[in-house]
């Protein structure tokens, strides 16, 4: 995978598209009726988290088949190598469950110890942040 500056911006745009797809899926869940359980750290997880994570992992595997992903809901302790995607499909699950708009979909490409491309979408706030070589906000 190329990680020069133009490639990083292109990857970031791909991640933004995937984040938007996941956000569309999450919008279809009824926050108040979404069942949840508590993880070992006391934070909630829902079927919405898991569905968004499956969608993101599937899209990443199709678009970037040689790059593994580490995702919050199904993560293990082992980091897969120097280059991997880091996914939080629903950051702010408590806010999501309470009907607050303060939740995001986050996807990042990590190379060694630095993020080289990423997207953060706050769909209920109408904000999408994208970063590669450059960083910008996209109107949604």
- Sequence ranges of the binding site for Mg(2+): 72, 88, 90-91
Binding residues: 72, 88, 90-91
* ∠ CA 104-93-134, rounded to 5°: 15
* Mutual angle of helices 5-27 and 47-63, in 10-degree steps: 150
What are the residues facing 81 on neighbouring strands? Answer: none
Determine which helix (DSSP H) or strand (DSSP E) holds 126, and give its type and residue range. Answer: none
C-alpha 124/C-alpha 115 separation (Å) is 25
* ∠ CA 94-98-101, rounded to 5°: 85
């Amino acid at each position: 995978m190329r990680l020069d500056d133009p490639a990083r911006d292109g990857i970031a745009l791909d991640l933004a598209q995937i984040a938007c797809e996941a956000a569309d899926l999450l919008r279809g869940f009824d926050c108040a009726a979404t069942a949840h359980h508590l993880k070992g750290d006391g934070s909630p997880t829902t079927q919405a988290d898991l569905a968004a994570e499956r969608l993101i992992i599937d899209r990443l595997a199709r678009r970037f088949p040689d790059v593994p992903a580490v995702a919050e809901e199904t993560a293990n302790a082992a980091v897969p190598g120097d280059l991997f995607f880091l996914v939080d499909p629903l950051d702010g699950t408590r806010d999501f469950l309470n009907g607050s708009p303060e939740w995001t979909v986050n996807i990042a490409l990590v190379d060694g110890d630095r993020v080289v491309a990423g997207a953060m979408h706050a769909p209920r706030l109408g904000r999408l942040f994208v970063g590669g070589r450059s960083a910008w906000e996209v109107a949604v």
